[in-house]
Structure 1
């Protein structure tokens, strides 16, 4: 059976048919795009799954200590490649099991790098203390799993979002370190690009600051600094991170767009899914439903 969507335009005119053409301010379409809801739930599940893997493995005896902390060398950005192989092997197993992970690392209580896998990423680090990062501060400050916003990785030079789990001693009082991962943002973009979208449609995942995480438009990802794009100025983004969902009209790069939005609740953070399409295309798609 066909599904009928009732579209309500909020404005000053009593004629809803005329508002779509004449009144371009203070209006919102009371329509919730089911695709956006499905994608938000999928992203939320993927992040929670990755966080659960980190939480479970953080309780392993091999992870709950840093027995070779005395081997940390600034020139190595941590411990040597062949040291604490038990912890490195666990990190390697996680990376081979869950492709949503790009890197696994362990930080000392003061934020110093202990180890990172793959080891090539540890070698490429441009700094060796990460106490200034939001994910470190969030995990230690809340004493729970924390999802950070998009940053530029110190080991790859590319955008990355990290999940961090604080690790405490048996009596749960002393901080032993932070067990963390970098999410594979390319993987999230590939998932969006597998959707059957038209050339005019675009879906992005954005973090709590409005910074792009993933994009259905593969052409935008081929540009320099592909994830260096912000949607923080959009009201739809602000609605989403405040827990709202729906579809509204936004002017993006001079074009009137219908933007469907939905929040993504990920641990202590709020991300968002935005589905953008030209306003006229959006109306036409509703007329055929």
Structure 2
């Protein structure tokens, strides 16, 4: 072997080893980044879901405390002499004022199974609904931990988890002791929070492969399990002991073995009353790091392929001295692989944006208490209001509703951008749909706007998503209402056959849309820049969302207007 061949072989071997080393270094860094992104994403998800659970509990606790200060509820129980073991409390028609307050709280959809009031010795005074009172097994509840906790602490107390004998699912009780001016105990007002509703919400989550969520209490008992139905979770001890968090975020990341499988566990502490619970996300390591494992396997295959190519190339170079040609081809191939990996990184960034959209959804959560308190103020639950105060409360409530609507529009637009909006297809009667629309908007006549229905497809049905179809109509009718004059306004909604499709339309006699503005009309956040329309307000998302819904339903939407005498919005859907 002469010197030239030896040098060529050494250059080839050295170059190949360098490329493999660089590829290994790059692959290792990329795997670490993907694994870190996976963990960070899980931490954000666990943080968001645990915060929602904690916020729900705090809201219920706050409502119980507010109601306990109501004058009626704070008064001593008047009919305690009517308590009987047969009724497990007082008769249904006794102390209706306290019962009515309890009913209002129960009907607020806070996932409360029932609301109750017990007298100082632990006997039940009443339970709402009354049917639950009749099903109570014992009259005296002083054996419950929440009774002793409320009496001992003199403040709001959250109970241990127990299985409701009435509902057959896991619950916790939130109780507030009520004292008179002499600091004597009048009674204990409480509500039983349905953990089965959390279980039901868990079972509907779009989890990753083989991933499941758990909530464990301070005794390490499993109280919510995403793998089980609403009433299928037995309170059982969880074999894994989660260490106390040492971080400021109360979040732990660990790998361990459960049921013979190595798993990734993300846990976060939640403060439930005086106890500390844990929210856990558990997924097998192989599934959690599937993307990085796939990248690792691809790198191994690539290294093997490169080794084979280098060996073959070396043999050819030694014999034919085509080293430069072979190395050039190899470098081109490596560059293509690097570009492919770069594209995969960009796709990972897109997934981050999708997760940010989920966080946007959490903006709605603080608005619910605001609207709840507004309703309580309007119904005089917290006392009488002056006319000016009531008008301010109505303004707050209306703006909160507008903000909820804006968030809904942003979320819908985001879902459409990511092609994540779900559609529930069903057979929809057009007659029934138009009857509902007419019923919803017939009040416009009282505001001086004529609302007309023109149906030419009686008895027809269409296979579509009824809720999303109604959303399109509501957006178009809402625009027509905004852009028509206050007097002599006319809005017409209709449907007719067009070939093998049904053509719907919303027509108004408003200001019209200039032709040059129509080309951008269905783009997000687009506003027609005239003073009349600027007065009407709006986010500029309604038409963009309507276009996205119609196109996802295999239809099309367009507008006709001469810019002077009204507009007509058409959309067609297949039968």
**TM-score (norm. length: structure 1):** 0.81
Aligned partner of residue 286 in structure 2, secondary structure: helix
Identify the residue that residue 36 of structure 1 maps to in structure 2. 46
Identify the residue that residue 208 of structure 1 maps to in structure 2. 218
How far apart are residue 203 of structure 1 and its match?
Answer: 0.8
How far apart are residue 30 of structure 1 and its match?
Answer: 9.7
| CA distance in structure 2 between the aligned counterparts of 1:214 and 1:39, rounded to whole angstroms | 13
Q: Which moved further from structure 2: 50-59 or 197-206? A: 197-206
Which of 224, 234, 249 is residue 255 of structure 2 equivalent to?
A: 249
How far apart are residue 66 of structure 1 and its match?
Answer: 0.8
**TM-score (norm. length: structure 2):** 0.42
Which of 288, 292, 297 is residue 282 of structure 1 equivalent to?
A: 288
| CA distance in structure 2 between the aligned counterparts of 1:159 and 1:99, rounded to whole angstroms | 16
Q: Which moved further from structure 2: 145-154 or 74-83? A: 145-154
| CA distance in structure 2 between the aligned counterparts of 1:284 and 1:176, rounded to whole angstroms | 59
Identify the residue that residue 23 of structure 1 maps to in structure 2. none
Unaligned regions of 5+ residues in structure 1, if any? 8-28
Identify the residue that residue 196 of structure 2 maps to in structure 1. 186
Aligned partner of residue 62 in structure 1, secondary structure: helix
Which of 229, 234, 255 is residue 228 of structure 1 equivalent to?
A: 234
The answer to whether structure 1 residue 90 and structure 2 residue 106 are counterparts is no
How far apart are residue 285 of structure 1 and its match?
Answer: 5.2
Which of 37, 45, 51 is residue 55 of structure 2 equivalent to?
A: 45
| CA distance in structure 2 between the aligned counterparts of 1:285 and 1:147, rounded to whole angstroms | 42
- How many correspondences in the alignment? 261
* Higher relative contact order, chain-length normalized (CA < 8 Å, sep 6+): 1
Identify the residue that residue 119 of structure 1 maps to in structure 2. 130
The answer to whether structure 1 residue 63 and structure 2 residue 73 are counterparts is yes
Unaligned regions of 5+ residues in structure 2, if any? 1-29, 294-344, 349-575
Per-residue Cα deviation, 1:78-105 (whole angstroms, up to 9, x for no partner) = 1111111111111111111133211100
Identify the residue that residue 17 of structure 1 maps to in structure 2. none
Aligned partner of residue 239 in structure 1, secondary structure: coil
Identify the residue that residue 106 of structure 1 maps to in structure 2. 117
How far apart are residue 214 of structure 1 and its match?
Answer: 2.5
Contact 1:241/1:271, CA 8 A, preserved across alignment: no
Contact 2:170/2:194, CA 8 A, preserved across alignment: no
Q: Rate the CA distance shift 1:227–1:240 in 2: closer, same or farther, 3 A.
A: farther
Q: Which has the higher helix share?
A: 2
Q: Which moved further from structure 2: 29-38 or 259-268? A: 29-38
| CA distance in structure 2 between the aligned counterparts of 1:43 and 1:241, rounded to whole angstroms | 22
The answer to whether structure 1 residue 239 and structure 2 residue 250 are counterparts is no
Contact 1:122/1:155, CA 8 A, preserved across alignment: no
Which of 130, 137, 143 is residue 154 of structure 2 equivalent to?
A: 143
Could you say what the CA RMSD is over the residues aligned between the two structures, in angstroms? 2.7
Contact 1:208/1:241, CA 8 A, preserved across alignment: no
| CA distance in structure 2 between the aligned counterparts of 1:49 and 1:206, rounded to whole angstroms | 21
Aligned partner of residue 107 in structure 2, secondary structure: helix
Per-residue Cα deviation, 1:204-236 (whole angstroms, up to 9, x for no partner) = 22222223332322xx227xx622143443122
Q: Which moved further from structure 2: 65-74 or 130-139? A: 130-139
Contact 1:6/1:31, CA 8 A, preserved across alignment: no
